[in-house]
Amino acid sequence: MINLNIKYKELIEKLDDLTLIKPDIAIILGSGLGDFAKSLNIKNSISTSTLSNYPASTIPGHEGKIISGEYSGKNILLFQGRIHFYEGYKLNECVLPVFISKKLGAEKILLTNAAGGINPNFHPGDLMLTTSFNGISIKKELLEVTGLPSAESKNNLIDLPSKEINQIIRKSADKEKIKIVEGVYWYTKGPSYETPAEIQMIKNFGGDAVGMSTVHEALFASFLGLQTGSISCITNYAAGISNKKLDHSEVTETANLVKDKFERLVKRVINLI
């Protein structure tokens, strides 16, 4: 088991020295959703490239910044970009934003991502509230970070995603008159997109959307006792659902088209927490 307190001691001390305020909620932004940072009254912005041991982001749409800001009287810790397993990093590095959130005092976290739609009722541009996660492919790697689960951590996972956070997201969507879909987010390691046969398997086993992030963050956040919620932007049909070739540029293009809807939803969530 990797001791993150030792590995990231210097990094956490530096963030403490930069007087990041205790957040009411932490938010990790996924591919193409980084513009949400402009919605905040920014108090401090830190490039992750200046932090010791912080993995560099290599994916378009992930700027690599940690932002301390305020919106609607709430303190926000915002990660503009995330760390992916398929970039060659270890899982204990990929959960670093969650670890930082916990160390800086967050009790709630909202994870966002771009995902491929599998459910035939989902379409590009939809926002999906995650009702459950499938991370069966990374159980072994998660043990590096969490160790064998204790009775307390097992109980934490019972409320994943947080029922309270999900109800706030539903209420927020209703108030903003935004249609949201709901479903299971299925994790794959990447870096290549899934084959049509793999997508059919995921569909048969109850997956509604698929992506290469979020699940390990959600499991680790819940393990640490954070109330955890997740919203996916359905940016494309998964392989085999349509005849269109998959491309990362489509992900960022679709996310850009729905960013107003996404921002309104997240702002309302912040307002209601």
Q: Which domains does the chain have, with CATH numbers?
A: 4-268 (3.40.50.1580)
Q: What is the pLDDT of residues 178-206, one digit of tens each?
A: 999 999 999 999 888 899 999 999 999 99
Question: What pLDDT is recorded for position 30?
Answer: 82
Q: Cα 117 vs. chain centroid, distance in angstroms?
A: 17
Assess whether pLDDT exceeds 80 at residue 177: yes
Query: What are 65's strand-pairing partners?
Result: 47, 80
Nearest alpha-carbon partner for 12 in 108, 105, 82, 112: 105
Task: Determine how β-strand 25-29 pairs with β-strand 180-187.
Answer: unpaired
- Torsion-angle region of residue 187: left (phi > 0), alpha (psi -120 to 50) or beta? beta
CA angle 113, 169, 109 (to 5 degrees): 55
Kindly report which listed range (35-39, 110-114, 147-151) carries the lowest average pLDDT score. Answer: 147-151
Q: What's the Cα-to-Cα distance from 175 to each of 59, 110, 258, rounded to whole Å?
A: 34, 19, 17
Question: What pLDDT is recorded for position 155?
Answer: 62
Average pLDDT, whole number, for the chain?
88
CA angle 44, 59, 138 (to 5 degrees): 100
Q: What is the DSSP letter of 213?
A: S
Q: What is the pLDDT of residues 36-58, one digit of tens each?
A: 888 899 999 999 988 888 998 77
pTM here is 0.92
The whole-angstrom separation of Cα 94 and Cα 214 is 9
Burial group, residue 36, by CB count within 10 angstroms (0-12, 13-18, 19+): buried
Burial group, residue 195, by CB count within 10 angstroms (0-12, 13-18, 19+): exposed
